[in-house]
Amino acid sequence: MYGVRMRTVLISGASVAGLSLAYWLRQRGFHTTLVERAPALRSGGQAIDIRGTAREVVERMGIMDAVRAHHTGTHGIAWLNTRGKQVCRMGSDTFGASGSIVAEIEILRDDLVRILHQTAGRDVEIMYDNVITAMAEGPDGVQVTFAKGKRRTFDIVVGADGLRSGVRGLAFGKDTQFVHDLGYYTSIFPAKSTLDFDGWEFMYNMPAGNGVQGRMAVVYPVGDTGAVRVMLAFVSPELAYDRKDVQAQKRILADVYAGAGWEVPGLIDQMWRSDDLYFARVGEVRVDEWYRGRTVLLGDSAFGGSMGMGTSMALVGAYVLAGELAVANGDHRAAFAQYDKEMREYVARNMKRPPGGPRGMAPKTRHGIWMRNKFMSLMPHLPGASKMTGDVEAAANAITLKPYVGGGRPTQEGLRSSLG
């Protein structure tokens, strides 16, 4: 241990970022409390990638075996034509293990959150069904007011509460200053399918129609159980709806995808029966400094909006932030500045988006869809093709982890036992 004076840290968001940080802080002698808006650990969500240096973080946490045991089983993406026939494929080994747009390690978000929760410790304090409503910083800490319960004072507050971070709003300012619109919506929900995926994710595109400018459906299997996760995304101007009204969100999706081909009608029918739906406008977070006084941002609240690197950056960021706090003996000013310095270039490289943007993901016309599919079929054979995907491998490894000494790690046997 570093001889750290006992410090109290409040983390907003029992997310990948928040739970990872709770683990590392606990290993280094800090007392952590998490506050989570949901009434329990969030279930559902998409399959997420663990790339590059983030895999080293997972190894240091001692959870790699558990993560691999929950691999979704997919090994690539297959693009479908308008008739639902495969026209090209790209596997996780196309440009090397972490150089492809398809990651070698893919796990469902709720599986990873469950693993991280168990790793952080069963006795970690999590205040569920609660949010921070006010923060008042003083010379000795931050007095925090919650929607439920008494006010409490913490030495440090961490916003790990997503793209629309409440902590960022209280300490930094309104979303309009930091969240830059990317022009499309995305949604995720669980379903069942009898399709023979053979370990491939299927991507199916539809041209503009029903008031939107391009649509896609991605379906990926969860093992060989028949369970799938469905992601629907469409390019559109901003729509007026209540973010808390799930039925309104379902109506939007049903209207946008009305008349769609392939398996989409059946998937929409299952969506209506599901009580697990994520629906959001996609944005990119840009913050010049990730800290203000005793408050610091982590994960999507600081650098949300990447193409497939959000989870990896959250895992790496949690490791670095906890390590710098320990090295600084809890001096938040020195630790936050060094955390920002250590992470900035790594984040900048991983926030770069491949050419085409939303139009490449969801072309507007049938000809555009055909051209995109043709390009994807040719890309693995083109010189310098990995550069076209943003040089994923180099970006994912664009940080060297310091050997922050201290703390133990769970044994694989103990972790497997706690996870059941």
Cβ–Cβ < 8 Å for 33, 127: yes
Q: Which class for 378: exposed (0-12), middle (13-18), buried (19 or more C-beta within 10 A)?
A: exposed
Cα 216 to Cα 188: distance, rounded to the nearest angstrom: 12
Global model pTM greater than 0.85: yes
Nearest CA to 166 among 153, 182, 178, 152?
178
Quick one: tokens of 412?
């694989």
Which amino acid makes up residue 158? V
Write down the domain spans for the chain. Answer: 8-70+107-177+284-353+393-407
Q: For residue 262, give the DSSP letter.
A: T
277: nearest Cα among 43, 5, 48: 43
**DSSP reduced 3-state for 168:** helix
* CA–CA gap between residue 248 and residue 65 (Å, rounded): 41
Exposure class string for 156-177: b at 16+ Cβ within 10 A, else e: bbbbbbbbbbbbbbbbbeeeee
Predicted confidence at residue 148, as pLDDT, reads 97
Predicted confidence (pLDDT) at residue 231 exceeds the cutoff of 80: yes
pLDDT in the model for residue 352: 86
Dihedral over alpha carbons 242, 248, 249, 253 (to 10 degrees): -140
- Rounded CA separation 184/186 (Å): 7
- For residue 65, pLDDT over 50 is answered with yes
* 325 HSE (CA, 13 A, CB side): 31
CA separation for the pair 125, 395 (Å, rounded): 35
With residues binned 3-state (H G I as helix, E B as strand, rest as coil), the percentages for the chain, rounded to 5, are: 35, 25, 40
70-98 tens-digit pLDDT: 988 888 889 998 888 999 888 766 544 44
337-391 confidence digits (pLDDT tens): 999 999 999 999 999 876 666 677 888 999 998 888 888 888 767 766 555 555 7
Give the separation between CA 76 and CA 39, rounded to whole angstroms: 35
CATH homologous superfamily, domain 8-70+107-177+284-353+393-407 = FAD/NAD(P)-binding domain (3.50.50.60)
**Model pLDDT, residue 103:** 58
Residue 416 pLDDT grade (very low, low, confident, very high; cuts 50, 70, 90)? very low
Backbone angles phi, psi at 173, to 5 degrees: 140, -175
Determine which of 92-101, 168-177, 389-398 has the lowest per-residue pLDDT on average. 92-101
The tens digit of pLDDT for each residue in 298-326 reads 999 999 998 889 999 999 999 999 999 99
Residue written as token pair 């507007």: 364
Mean pLDDT of the chain: 88
Q: Which residue is associated with the tokens 């968001």?
A: 13
Determine the Cα–Cα distance for residues 281 and 261; give it in Å rounded to an integer: 24
Q: DSSP 3-state assignment of 213?
A: coil
